[in-house]
Each structure stands twice: as C-alpha cells, then as structure tokens.
Amino acid sequence: MKEDFLHYIWQHHYYRKADLATTEGEPLQVMRTGYYNTDAGPDFREAIVKISDVEWSGSVEIHLRASDWRRHNHQTDLKYDQVILHVVWEADEQIVRTDGTVIPMLELKDRVDTALIYTYKQLQEARSAIPCANVWPAVPEITKTMMLGRALTERLELKGQEILHLHASYNHDWEATAYHVLCKGFGFKINQVPMERLATALPVTVIRKAQSIVQVEALLFGQAGFLTDAETDYTHQLSNEYKFLSHKYKLQGTAMQRHHWNFMRMRPANFPTVRLAQLAAVLASRQHFFTAILEAQTIKQYESLFMVPVTAFWQEHYTFSPEPAKAQSTMGKGSAHNLIINVAVPLLAAYSQFASDRAYLEKAIELLERVKEASNKITRLYEELGWKAQTAADNQAALGLYKNYCQPIQCLQCAIGNKILRQNMLTQS
Ligand code: SF4
C-alpha cells in the first residue's frame, strides 16, 4: 500500500465513520478534510475536526505507520506543530509535537472496506499494460469519454507549456518559436533531433532575409551539410548561393554534417532531403507562419499551409543524386495531417495559455477532431479492450491517458479508476 491510497481514503471519506475515535479513545468528528497541500509541510491544510467537545482547525498529516513521523523527522520540524490529527494505517507508536504535546491519531486499518483495498491492490499489482484491462469493459462509456477528454486537454496543455519554455528561450518571439516547432515537425519520427539542431544553426532571422526560394533552399541544405558535392547544375547553383549567404550572414563554422541525418529504414518520400525541400517551400511561401497558424480556419487552409509545391528539381529527385526519380510535387495529406497534429495544434495550445484565451485550445481540439491519425502501439492497447479511435483527438487522448495515468499507475487520480474503486466498494456504514 502507498500513502497516496490513504490520501485518497481520507479525501473521499472512504472509511467507516461509526464510533469514530482517536487512538486514545476520544470521540472524533471530521468536519472538513482540508485542502491537499502540494508544497512542503503537512499533507492537508485548513482541516477542521472535533475531538470530544473541542473543535480544532489546522493541518492533517498522513502516514502508513505512525512511526513514519519520526522517520521523516517531523518531531523537530515546527511546520508540523500545526497538525491537529495524524491519520495512519497503523498506529505503531505515539507521536508528539516539538513541545512534547501528544498529537491525536486516527488509525484506519480496521475502518476501510476490504473490497476497496482488494481492488486498489489489483490495480497496483496488475501486470498488463493497462492495469484496469480486466474491468475496463464494465466502466460506463460516459466515464471513459469524460476521462479521455480530460487526458486530451491535459496533454495539449503540457505540449503548450513545452512550447512556452521554447518561446521564453527565443525572447518571446512567436515567429522564431513557430519556426523551431515547424523544423522539428518536418523531422517527423526519425529526424527530429537534427531538424531541431538545424533550427538553431539557421536562425529564422536569416531565413526572413532570403530573396527567393532558391536562397531558402541554399541556406537550409547548406547549413544541414548537404552541399559538399556539386554534381548537377542545381547543386552548383545552391552551393554558390550558400557560399555567398553564409559569408554575408556569418554562418561559417555553424553548419551540420551529412552524417547527422538518418536515411535508414524509411521510404524515399520521407528522406530528410525531401523534407528539407518541402520545408523550404513552406518557409518561402509566407513571412509570418505563426500568424497563419493562428488565422487559418478550415482544415483545407491548415493543409495548404504545409502542402506547398516543391521546386522543379525535387519533383524529380529524392536526393542530390543526378539520376531523376518519380517524386511528388507536394507532401501527401497524411504528412500534412501529421504536421497539423504536431505543429499547428501544439502552437495553438501554447498560444491559448499565453493569451489566456481558451478559444485557441478549443480550435486545436476541433482540428484534431477533423483529422485522422493511424493507430500506434499505445492506442492499440485500448483498442484491444473494445475502444475505437475515430480521429486524431481520440488517439491523442489515449496517448495522454496512457503516459500520464496508466503507465505510472495513477489510477487514484483517474476518473475511470475512481469509478472502478467505487463500483467495487461495499456500502460504508
Ligand atoms: S489510470 Fe485509469 S484507465 Fe489507466 S489503468 Fe488506471 S484506472 Fe484504468
């Protein structure tokens, strides 16, 4: 058993209240459990209890064993002198404040429903990836829908917070932040790290000064380390442009190298050279990408932010090799939707927090509800239980539920877990 289970029992009053008394035998009445304290000090603040005929207000500290008080050195910590009740699973010793006065204690071990303890242990000790898998089908759909909705919102808020950190590191420049997120997005699964490195090696302020898409390509491919051999007229042109621009913008010595990029185990359409050509097309198509993300309204408008035709060379090549191949003029819809999910949506979520305007978060969720996303090994875990993802919003919700609740076994914080525990609990007297 963990202490958070005792917190849960205390917070929800899931203990037998008949003849409630302290370990000293004094009648006890809990008027208010208090507010859970996430800072240093006792676990619950501003609780009110009545012991015998005296009403006390102060803090409540919770431990598995009373002797944990000493193990945690609370007997010398003045913050714990305000504790009015020590709630423990097992009262194995008496505890006192720094001035030697005894702290009233409530022992829970004979007051908690055995079915509740059994269900809790089953969730904690389950070996399956989704600890509640056995009972998942019996949980009402409304509870699952509500929890998945919460998990989605929390996931987007977390992604938004990560972008707000990035935004601070870019001196609160939204266009520079969006450029970094865009570069990372174009790395898709395999080349995110080098793409982020490129975003640092080639600041958006330099990209903004480019006069043509050829200059944007020269800067991107040059800084990425792809312009070392000039085998075609096209690569000659890019190399010359890059030499000129890297000197002009003092980029010498900051370029990456070709070996930083991964070409292994991927279809040619996903090669980083192809993605860089597509990124160049997007960057050259507009000066203010972040503004466009905020202002687009329809799914088509969001798709068109990313599905910009590449230059002639890249319509016939996957790499700088002179031999032509049948490539695509724009990225496919699946890739554009991936960028909506991983670039547009997190930027909208971040801006929602920055501007304290929930409308942007709702816009992000609506976007997710309109795009499809292939299932992955995590969403399949829930699909095996009978749940079916219809849209990217469902997929992202399942990812949030898994990473923040199921994987770390945070069932006590989960609405589904609470429903399961309540369903299995016998009526408290
Ligand atoms: S966190 Fe919720 S959904 Fe996940 S295993 Fe626990 S109860 Fe089930």
- The per-residue pLDDT for range 332-387, each reduced to its tens digit, is 999 999 999 999 999 999 999 999 999 999 999 999 999 988 889 999 999 999 99
End-to-end distance of the chain based on CA atoms, in angstroms? 23
Which of 152, 379, 401 to mutate for ligand 1's pocket (most ligand atoms within 8 Å of CB)? 401
Ligand 1 binding pocket, CB closer than 6 Å: 123, 130-132, 401, 405-406, 410-411, 414, 416-417, 420
**Residue percentage of the chain with pLDDT more than 70:** 99
Cα dihedral sign for 131, 132, 136, 142? negative
Residue partners of 8: CB distance under 8 A and separation at least 6: 14, 412
Average pLDDT over residues 391-415: 96
Q: Is 361 helix (H, G, I), strand (E, B) or coil?
A: helix
pLDDT at 252: 87
Average pLDDT over residues 14-24: 93
Q: Is 208 helix (H, G, I), strand (E, B) or coil?
A: helix
User: For residue 39, with 0-12 CB atoms within 10 Å meaning exposed, 13-18 middle and 19 or more buried, which class applies?
Assistant: exposed
Which of 413, 414, 420, 421 to mutate for ligand 1's pocket (most ligand atoms within 8 Å of CB)? 414
For residue 425, what pLDDT band results from cuts at 50, 70 and 90? Answer: low
The DSSP H or E segment spanning 116 is: helix 114-125
| Cα 9 to averaged position of ligand 1 atoms, centre (Å) | 18
Using CA atoms, how far residue 137 sits from 143, 308, 408, 414, 420, in Å, is 11, 45, 21, 16, 11
For residue 23, what pLDDT band results from cuts at 50, 70 and 90? Answer: very high
| Cα 387 to averaged position of ligand 1 atoms, centre (Å) | 14
How many helices (H) and strands (E) would you count in the chain?
18, 6
| pTM score | 0.87
Asked whether residue 132 carries a pLDDT value surpassing 90, the answer given is yes
Which residue's C-alpha comes closest to atom 7 of ligand 1?
A: 417
Q: Taking Cα atoms as reference points, which of 211, 201, 217 lies closest to residue 250?
A: 201
Query: Which numbered atom of ligand 1 lies nearest the CA of 131?
Result: 5
pLDDT at 325: 87
Asked whether residue 219 carries a pLDDT value surpassing 70, the answer given is yes
Please give the radius of gyration of the chain, using alpha carbons only, rounded to the nearest integer.
29
Asked if 424 contacts 115 with a C-beta cutoff of 8 angstroms, the reply is yes
For residue 427, what pLDDT band results from cuts at 50, 70 and 90? Answer: very low
